[in-house]
């Protein structure tokens, strides 16, 4: 079956602009996670959804970052007033439930100029 998909694969934007990153999880997976990975580092947890609600958003670095999952499937990570330090690969993962293995998407490489 189809895996986790993310769009766009690459996004280049200018400092101060707004961006949206999309994640389409595996069908039937109730848990969805967003991570950020900088070069040479492990993924950094951002937010976890169980169904439609953000069960844990403690990893979001500041209030410029926001994520939604309105129908319990597709999720969008939104970044306002982007800064150069936001440049990273943003990864999405989904799993059947809270403790199952996570299946990762290919990531969106965000570059803020």
Partner 1 sequence: ELKVEQNPLFLSMQEGKNYTIYCNYSTTSDRLYWYRQDPGKSLESLFVLLSNGAVKQEGRLMASLDTKARLSTLHITAAVHDLSATYFCAVDMSTGNQFYFGTGTSLTVIP
Dihedral over Cα of 72, 33, 88, 85: its sign? positive
Stretch that binds partner 1, among 17-25, 35-43, 65-73, 78-86 (CB under 8 A): 35-43
Residue 103 contacts partner 1 per CB under 8 A: yes
Structure tokens at 24: 């389409």
- Kindly state the DSSP code that residue 15 receives in the 8-state scheme: T
Q: Give the number of other CB atoms < 10 A from CB of residue 82.
A: 21
Structure tokens at 33: 């996670």
Residue 97 contacts partner 1 per CB under 8 A: no
From the CB of 78, what's the least distance to partner 1, in Å? Answer: 20
Chain contacts with partner 1 (rule: CB under 8 A): 33, 35, 40-45, 48, 50, 55-56, 58-59, 91, 93, 98-107
């Amino acid at each position: 079956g189809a895996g986790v998909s993310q769009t766009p694969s690459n996004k280049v934007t200018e400092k101060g602009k707004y961006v949206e990153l999309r994640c389409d999880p595996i069908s039937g997976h109730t848990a969805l996670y967003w991570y950020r990975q900088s070069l040479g580092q492990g993924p950094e947890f951002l937010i976890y959804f169980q169904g439609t609600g953000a069960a844990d958003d403690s990893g979001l670095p500041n209030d410029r970052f926001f994520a939604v999952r309105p129908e319990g499937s597709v999720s969008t990570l939104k970044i306002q007033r982007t800064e150069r330090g936001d440049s990273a690969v943003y990864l999405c993962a989904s799993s059947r439930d809270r403790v199952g293995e996570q299946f990762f998407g290919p990531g969106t490489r965000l570059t803020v100029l």
